[in-house]
Amino acid sequence: MNEDFLHKKLNERKQQNAYRELRLPTNKIDFCSNDYLGIARSSTIDDRPSTILRAGSTGSRLLAGNYALIEETETMIAKFHEAESGLIFNSGYDANVGLMSCVPQRGDTIIYDYLSHASIRDGIRLSFAESFSFVHNRLDDLEKRLKIAKGNIFVVTESVFSMDGDYAPLNDISALCEKYNANLIIDEAHATGVVGEKGEGLVQHLQLQNKCFARVYTFGKGVGCHGAVILGSKTLRNYLINFSRAFIYTTSLPESSVAAIQSAYQIFPQMNEERNHLNNLIVQFQNASIGFEKLKSETPIQIVIVPGNDAVKKLAMQLQENNFDIRPIVYPTVPKGSERLRIVMHAFNTREEVRGLVEGLRVGSR
Ligand SMILES: Cc1ncc(COP(=O)(O)O)c(C=O)c1O
């Protein structure tokens, strides 16, 4: 078999020192996972015996794969997030692809933040609508695009950005959407469980839930499980059931997964102590001087800029040798010159661990 064309592309990656490899977990101090509250590592998430929960759902939701627990969970989550209805998808990736690919139609316009997650961008690529990005978090650029947009207009952004850890200016974005009669879509993946008094996310924290056309909440990060939900009107739910290919043409999540999601939604709203501790760690890290540029972030995602794939990989390796699980984010995932360590704070990390990490970074900067 001639696989030269694959080798050629893989070799390019190796030359850029950007070759990716899978790694098995280690027992190092976790500054890497998205398990912000530690729910995924706790054993309290579901105490029902697994034998009564089916591990396979046996089909698409439209065929054999629908069941009472999944609909009950959708209703419960929609109520918690103050939405009319919800539809569960197998992952956040599927939810964004399933939403963006089918809702905006030919003749419509999608305007998305330049730093939007790959799943949003991939969904947009599958859509027949026209699409434009706006400069990250820049309202003037967004407005420029809104002024010339045609058809139904959709504005898409994340509430907490996965690679920068900053917030989107949602109040202002929502006001612009009202002014230009645009439909606002917000991905709350990294805000779920973490932002807001009960971990309800940034949208409700700012009381914008009634201003959104659709919201995506993922369960694989702060919720500590797997899957996602799209929240919106009943009409939107019916539309997705009829037209969203990422919903229709796949086997649904099994009962065991959905039971875990339901349990997590009963647990995380009460985890105020964990959220407080997490916020204290974030402040501790933000206030520390580390010898590298640090992006401003009030969220668990803390970014240390170390330009160059070689340099950022070397520093990550040094930290790993000192027992910190920290991964480099290299070009082409981020633009050249903005390679970074993506450090994730968790409720189970300690102040001493953060102190040790700061010291490790200081040593690495010398
Ligand atoms: C902003 C954002 N949206 C969606 C996703 C995808 O979610 P999932 O991991 O559940 O597929 C991610 C995950 O990396 C993300 O960061």
This model's pTM is above 0.85: yes
Is there a domain that residue 62 lies in? yes
Q: What is the pLDDT of residue 190?
A: 98
**Cross-strand pairs, 187:** 158, 216
Q: What is the pLDDT of residue 218?
A: 98
* Ligand 1 pocket mutation pick from 35, 116, 117, 167 by most atoms within 8 angstroms of CB: 117
Measured in degrees and rounded to the nearest 5, phi and psi for residue 86 equal: -145, 155
Q: Are residues 244 and 114 in the same domain?
A: yes
Q: Is 249 helix (H, G, I), strand (E, B) or coil?
A: coil
**Cross-strand pairs, 155:** 111, 184
Measured CA distances, 348 to 50, 282, 323 (Å): 26, 13, 16
Among the candidates 222, 240, 269, a domain finishes at: 269
* Ligand 1 pocket mutation pick from 218, 334, 344 by most atoms within 8 angstroms of CB: 218
Among the candidates 212, 239, 269, a domain finishes at: 269
Q: What is the pLDDT of residue 355?
A: 98
Q: Are 89 and 70 spatial neighbours (Cβ–Cβ below 8 Å)? A: no
Contacts with 216 (C-beta within 8 Å, 6 or more apart), sequence order: 92, 95, 96, 99, 185, 186, 187, 188, 189, 228, 229, 230, 231
What is the distance, to the nearest Å, from the Cα of residue 1 to the centroid of all Cα atoms in its chain?
A: 39
Ligand 1, pocket residues at CB < 6 Å: 91-93, 96, 117, 119, 158, 162, 187, 189-190, 218, 220, 228
Enclosing domain of residue 342: 17-37+271-365
Enter the tokens of residue 105. Answer: 């139609």
Report the 10 Å Cβ neighbour count for 160: 25
Q: Are residues 61 and 188 in the same domain?
A: yes
Is there a domain that residue 44 lies in? no
Q: What is the CATH number of the domain that holds 332?
A: 3.90.1150.10
Q: What is the CATH number of the domain that holds 77?
A: 3.40.640.10
Q: How many domains does the chain have?
A: 2
Angle CA 280–284–285, to nearest 5: 120
Q: What is the pLDDT of residue 48?
A: 59
Q: Are residues 222 and 326 in the same domain?
A: no
* Ligand 1 pocket mutation pick from 162, 301, 334 by most atoms within 8 angstroms of CB: 162
Q: What is the pLDDT of residue 181?
A: 98
How many Å apart are CA 271 and CA 192, to the nearest integer? 12
Measured CA distances, 50 to 3, 46, 200, 256 (Å): 44, 9, 28, 7
Closest residue CA from atom 16 of ligand 1: 162
CA of 366 to the centre of ligand 1 (A): 35
Q: What percent helix, strand, coil does the chain show, rounded to 5?
A: 40, 15, 45
How many Å apart are CA 83 and CA 200, to the nearest integer? 12
| Tens-digit pLDDT string for the chain (366 aa) | 999 999 999 999 999 888 999 989 889 999 999 999 999 998 666 665 556 778 899 999 999 999 999 999 999 999 999 999 999 999 999 999 999 999 999 999 999 999 999 999 999 999 999 999 999 999 999 999 999 999 999 999 999 999 999 999 999 999 999 999 999 999 999 999 999 999 999 999 999 999 999 999 999 999 999 999 999 999 999 999 999 999 999 999 999 999 999 999 999 999 999 999 999 999 999 999 999 999 999 999 999 999 999 999 999 999 999 999 999 999 988 889 999 999 999 999 999 999 999 999 998 888
Q: What is the pLDDT of residue 25?
A: 86
How many Å apart are CA 324 and CA 99, to the nearest integer? 37
Contacts with 14 (C-beta within 8 Å, 6 or more apart), sequence order: none
Specify the ligand 1 atom closest to the Cα of 218: 10
Q: What is the pLDDT of residue 2?
A: 94
How many Å apart are CA 169 and CA 195, to the nearest integer? 14
